[in-house]
Structure 1
Amino acid sequence: MALFVTLVAGCTSGDGGDDSGIDAKAGTPTASSAPPGKYRTLREPCGSVDRATLRDLLPGAAQLPEEQQQKALKGTAAVTYDTDRRVGCSWSADAPSASHHLVIDVERVVSYDPSVSDADKAQEVYAKKEDAAALPPPAAVSQDPSDEASSTEGAEGADKPGGTDDAGEPVASGAAPDPSGSPSADKTPHTASAPGTGATSTPSESDPPPGLQPRLLEDLGDAAFVDDVYASSGSAAKRRTVSVVFRTSNVVVTVRYAEQPTYPTTVPDSKELQEKARGLARQLADQLDE
């Protein structure tokens, strides 16, 4: 399995012995300069997910003739300006009951400010994605049984106005979906009571069940969260998209996994999609540590 990122012991600050110069911070390196990031380069991501995992995530691919199956599992690399700074890959497959889409995006963040470390700059990038996801307050999220984090008490859910695009920016309600599978439409809203009545919101059957609401994750990288968007895909059927975003040192990884049922009355299972997306995210995090 190809590794996502190559670990290096060198510094991201430029010096006379580094011919690349791509990560040179502004100014002359000094003893007081912020430390460099742990990761220096990125490798091609389409080979980072093994075929067994892809067949599980894309059940429709297993039903294709061998040649078409291999093409579907190969994936399509994202077009980026600098593959040492950002890479991505996407896969999709249709089955009689539903179509599935998988997107991986990996960004290696470099700070050109000598006083700001690459990891701190990456945390800024991650924080923007977390803010754009508009996660409900921790007190409003019941504990996921699969999480090892301490349990919290509170309401069963919270409203979120919309999804996010590949850059982590919020997307307006009713926007057209991104063919790559990104959550680009508004979530199905809760039925909320009038302010001051003391009544609680009534969750829709399409909302993630208690414990599976969008939330922070404590068992993945240096910081992580999971988002869950159930939205119109421009047809009668709706698509559920689960996004897992995590940061490890100066690398920010996004795993986006979506299912769109063939029949509009079918609601994709939050638990299954989240488990699979989080499982893949853990695999990628383990590769970073190798």
Structure 2
Amino acid sequence: MAYVPGAVLIAALVAGCSSGTEGGASAADSKPGTLTVSAAPPGKYRTLPEACRAIPLATLKDLLPGAAQLPEAQQETVYEGTPAGTFDTDRRVGCRWKYDAPDASRNISIDFERVVSYDPSVSDDDRAREVYAKKEEAADLPSAPLPPDDAGKGTVTPQGSPTASANADGKTGATPGTTDDAEDATGDAGAATDGGTAGSPAESLQPRVLDKLGDSAFLDDLLTRAGSTAQHRTVSVVFRTSNVIVTIEYTAQPALPTEVPDSKELQEKAQALGEKLVDRLSE
């Protein structure tokens, strides 16, 4: 009969020791100076919109002038767009539209990238900031606007192509005063005068950071030669909103080699599209 109380006593002593050990560990974990790692918050966006349905039909008609005069079946083909190939539509989607008219061609492409951080200490938004910053750095935007008195200065060749030693984005051509400089330069100085935009300050059309689009944004403007004579201009607008980065590319190529695509028109339409896509993401 004395054995049972002894066993109970031993069990109680063991339980007491175990309880004391746990209490000691708990006290050590909660002492001042102990670091605890918590997961960074996820990004605002968990999904992406359907890219080929992201642009309203009325906006597509404005971006692709002339397509609305096509037969209905051809209009549908133009406006439905071509989706970009992707392995994971939760992470990246895109679409492209193109219309070739007798006097010019236009095409527009959009790309949505949802950035996800795999580091628990780095938020999706912070990781998206890093990705966006690299894109802006790669664009090599001019560090300062050109003085108004110097912007847009240059000569006009017999063919009507503007040339200048310094382009509107502050980048200098290899051989100033040649026709090739005007055709191949980024953001050429003629942007201030071609397409009926005479009198507009060139610095307002140069590649630049945009202050009122998403969380951060920039615009690039590239005029290049296609083939042997034709010129085409591509305006790119890239913006970030939370953990999503959107890239817009809007290109125009006139049929005549002497025509220069209107920088002002393309930039205004590309920025307006960017604003619509910000709203689309917020729906």
TM-score scaled by length of structure 1: 0.69
| Contact 2:52 2:95 survives alignment (8 Å) | yes
Structure 2 SS opposite 1:62: helix
* 1:139 to 1:207, Cα distance in 2 relative to 1, 3 A: closer
| Contact 2:218 2:239 survives alignment (8 Å) | yes
- Alignment correspondent of 1:205: 190
- Alignment correspondent of 1:252: 245
| Contact 2:168 2:189 survives alignment (8 Å) | no
- Alignment correspondent of 1:116: 122
Is the counterpart of residue 46 in structure 1 residue 55 in structure 2? no
In percent, how many aligned pairs have the same letter?
58
Report the alpha carbon displacement of residue 61 of structure 1 after superposing the two structures with TM.
1.2
- Alignment correspondent of 1:64: 70
Counterpart amino acid of 2:275?
A: R
Counterpart amino acid of 1:188?
A: A
Is the counterpart of residue 159 in structure 1 residue 171 in structure 2? yes
Is the counterpart of residue 73 in structure 1 residue 79 in structure 2? yes
- Alignment correspondent of 2:230: 237
- Alignment correspondent of 1:36: 42
Q: How does 1:130-145 map to 2 (within 5 A)?
A: 130-140=136-146
Is the counterpart of residue 285 in structure 1 residue 282 in structure 2? no
Match of 1:226 among 216, 219, 242: 219
* Structure 2 gap segments, 5+ residues each: 1-35, 149-166, 174-179, 194-201
CA distance in 2 between partners of 1:187 and 1:125 (Å): 28
Structure 2 SS opposite 1:220: coil
| Contact 1:86 1:106 survives alignment (8 Å) | yes
Instruction: Report the structure number with the largest CA radius of gyration.
Output: 2
Counterpart amino acid of 1:271?
A: K
Structure 2 SS opposite 1:59: coil
Counterpart amino acid of 1:159?
A: K
Report the alpha carbon displacement of residue 99 of structure 1 after superposing the two structures with TM.
0.1
More helix by share: 2
CA distance in 2 between partners of 1:31 and 1:46 (Å): 41
Match of 2:112 among 106, 109, 118: 106
Counterpart amino acid of 1:67?
A: A
- Alignment correspondent of 1:188: 185
Is the counterpart of residue 266 in structure 1 residue 263 in structure 2? no
Counterpart amino acid of 2:280?
A: Q
Report the alpha carbon displacement of residue 77 of structure 1 after superposing the two structures with TM.
0.4
Write the deviation string for residues 244-273 of structure 1: whole angstroms up to 9, x where unpaired. Answer: 000000000001000000001000111100
Write the deviation string for residues 91-141 of structure 1: whole angstroms up to 9, x where unpaired. Answer: 000122210010000000000001111011111111111111100013448
* 1:240 to 1:189, Cα distance in 2 relative to 1, 3 A: closer
Report the alpha carbon displacement of residue 62 of structure 1 after superposing the two structures with TM.
1.5
Report the alpha carbon displacement of residue 52 of structure 1 after superposing the two structures with TM.
0.8
| Contact 1:134 1:160 survives alignment (8 Å) | no
Bigger shift: 114-123 or 206-215? 206-215
Structure 1 SS opposite 2:223: strand
Report the alpha carbon displacement of residue 274 of structure 1 after superposing the two structures with TM.
0.3
Counterpart amino acid of 1:58?
A: L
CA distance in 1 between partners of 2:229 and 2:69 (Å): 25
| Contact 1:34 1:115 survives alignment (8 Å) | yes
| Contact 1:233 1:239 survives alignment (8 Å) | yes
- Alignment correspondent of 2:30: none
CA distance in 2 between partners of 1:114 and 1:64 (Å): 52
Is the counterpart of residue 275 in structure 1 residue 268 in structure 2? yes
Structure 1 SS opposite 2:87: coil
Give the aligned CA root-mean-square deviation in angstroms. 2.3
Report the alpha carbon displacement of residue 33 of structure 1 after superposing the two structures with TM.
1.9
CA distance in 1 between partners of 2:273 and 2:256 (Å): 27
